[in-house]
Structure 1
Amino acid sequence: MTSSTSTHFIAFFGATGGCTNACLVHTLNAGFHATALARTPSKLTDMLLAQGITQSIIDTQLTIVKGDIADIHAIKAVLTNNSIATTTTTVNNTVKIASQIISGIGGTPQMRMSLSKPMTIDNPEICATATKNIIQSLQEIYAAHPSTTQHRPSITVISTTGVSNVREDVPFGFRTFYHVVLADPHKDKKVMEDLVVANASSTTGAFRGAVIIRPSLLTGDQNVKKGKGWQKVKVGVEDKPAVGYTIHRADVGEWICEQIVKTGGESRFGQKVTLTC
């Protein structure tokens, strides 16, 4: 396990996924310190090395916590840069806590023999479960270490287009695919979004603010060299969405790093941001 000595860090969940892994690459390259949850830490390390992140950067800027999103203890370690996991007492009952959370947790699509619901995911409630567990972990940290409530993190979650109740954000040619074929897995995204919104408050929520990212159909992988670049991404919000067919995962990750991680994301709090190319 590697560790960071920074007092400010970004917590990543789903870091081996395309969008989130690309965001982590850009975050580390920008000099930020980060923590990440991984079921297989060596897999995440190998992915980062393949992206050009040096072992030195991994050793000095990143803490990788072994575990999964069902493990509250591991989630707390990610949120506190392992300080809760490695110490039984803390000075003045305080711990470090992440300034931002980036979550790209998702399941693997699976086809099934059903005309009404032809596609599901391997864990149909993974996004909602992950969000509930992050919230529970934060609440337990706040209860045990009240001073951390003064430094509550923001959260950015990766959702999808096609789940808006305000305005259609899917191009006409994709609407059957999104609203029929993908209807079942999208229920999980909707629950996740509702949980994030309900728990984001500048004064009392688990999160001090929240940004929901709704990319159009994702293409490619996490390779940051294969994207078109974040400046070419078309950006909208829920009532004025950017409507398009696809976007590369690497571009989503880079946009989040540039517009949320680097800036703190405050100008986007409360927004459901559509991204497409």
Structure 2
Amino acid sequence: MTTSSRFIAFFGATGGCTNAALVHTLNAGIHVRALARTPSKLTDMLLAQGISQATIDSQLTIIKGDIASMPAIKSVLLSDKDHTLTTQIMSGVGGTPQLRWSIKRPVTIDNPEICATTTKNIVQALHEIYAEHPSTATHKPSIVIISTTGVSDVREDVPFGFQTMYHVALADPHKDKKVMEKIVTENAIGLDAVFRGAIAVRPSLLTGDQNIKGGKGWKSLRVGQEDKPAIGYTIHKADVGEWIFEETIKTDGQRWFGQKVTLTN
């Protein structure tokens, strides 16, 4: 598979929101490098969405590995052909929800620190890349992460009917999202920043799958920010992916740098 001098780095590319964003990105002719534990799964998902094998071969480089592999992460971020660094990172890594016998914490995930661990490893990989290839530090990438509503310390962004579910039942997976956001924020400011900008996307309760024909369209969404959130019950994964593409990948997303963006129907 080939690459170009400009590309977007994708983590969690088989997840619903992220996969939808990837489909739109490839349809726009943009080159991508993506991490996947099972490359054939990602390829099959894209083919099912109408992405041709020719497009996959010419625009997508899939790096086999997981978020625990520093060499694999660095290969996603940095082209092995000409040592070109990605211009933007799209991270939608998440765990699989699991139920357990607990009244206070009935929902956990298979890897309860997956979001924080992924983000820490991306930061570490960038530090190593800047040290090994100093010229790359002059063109640092931005990052977009998929978080969730219900983690704000500023303003309640979950409707009253969902607050018990979010703040009690989902407390453990949401703790991981909060740590992820903190890591990204801390590494997007100051002299030691590894990102030139960061955007946290906080969708309301996700429904549907990655099928880009299944949503209502990104223009139908209500959009807010942390101090004035858009409060709603649900949102289709495909619409989140399309919004991310239209507002942060297609346009570079600079207008949203430093923001925690709430999305809902």
TM-score by structure 2 length? 0.98
| 1:117-137 CA-partner distances (Å, limit 9, x unpaired) | 111100000000000000000
Structure 1 residue 101 corresponds to structure 2 residue 89: yes
**Which secondary structure state, in structure 2, belongs to the residue aligned with residue 255 of structure 1?**
helix
Give yes or no for the alignment of 1:111 onto 2:99: yes
Structure 1 residues 202, 50: closer, same or farther in 2, change over 3 A? farther
Q: Distance in 2 between matches of 1:72 and 1:266?
A: 28
Superposed, which structure 2 residues align to 1:16-55 within 5 Å?
16-55=14-53
Task: Give, in whole Å, the separation in 2 of the partners of 1:204 and 1:11.
Answer: 21
Cα-Cα RMSD: 0.9
Query: Contact 1:217–1:246 at 8 Å: present in 2 too?
Result: yes
> What is the match of residue 60 of structure 1?
58
Q: Distance in 1 between matches of 2:190 and 2:250?
A: 20
Letter in 1 for 2:126: L
1:3 corresponds to = 2
1:242 aligns with 2:241: no
Cα shift readout 1:218-261 (whole Å, capped 9, x = no counterpart): 00000001010010011000000000000000000000000000
- SS where residue 141 of structure 1 aligns? helix
Aligned to 2:166: 178
Contact 1:96-1:148 within 8 A present in 2 as well: yes
Contact 1:3 1:64 in 2 (8 A): no
What SS class does the counterpart of residue 76 from structure 1 fall into? Answer: helix
* Cα distance in structure 1, aligned partners of 2:226 and 2:14: 28
Alpha-carbon separation, structure 1, partners of 2:230 and 2:170: 20
Cα separation, 2, equivalents of 1:81 and 1:42 = 21
Once the 2 structures are TM-superposed, how far is the Cα of residue 116 of structure 1 from its aligned partner?
1.4
Question: What stretches of structure 1 of length at least 5 have no aligned partner?
Answer: 84-89
- SS of 2:239's equivalent in the other structure is helix
Give the match for residue 87 of structure 1: none
TM-score (norm 1): 0.94
Q: Supply the distance in 1 between the matched residues of 2:191 and 2:86 (Cα, whole angstroms).
A: 17
For 1:131, give the aligned amino acid.
T
- Cα distance in 2 for residues equivalent to 1:251 and 1:166: 25
Percent identity, aligned pairs only? 69
- The separation in 2 between residues aligned to 1:193 and 1:107, in whole angstroms, is 16
Alignment size in residue pairs: 265
- Give the whole-Å Cα distance in 2 for the aligned partners of 1:196 and 1:48: 28
* Residues 8-64 of structure 1: per-residue CA shift (max 9 Å, x gap): 100000000000000000000011111100000000000000000001110111100
Return the letter of the residue paired with 1:37.
L
Correspondence for 1:218: 206
How far the C-alpha of 1:97 sits from its partner, in A, is 0.5
| In 2, Cα distance between equivalents of 1:202 and 1:231 | 34
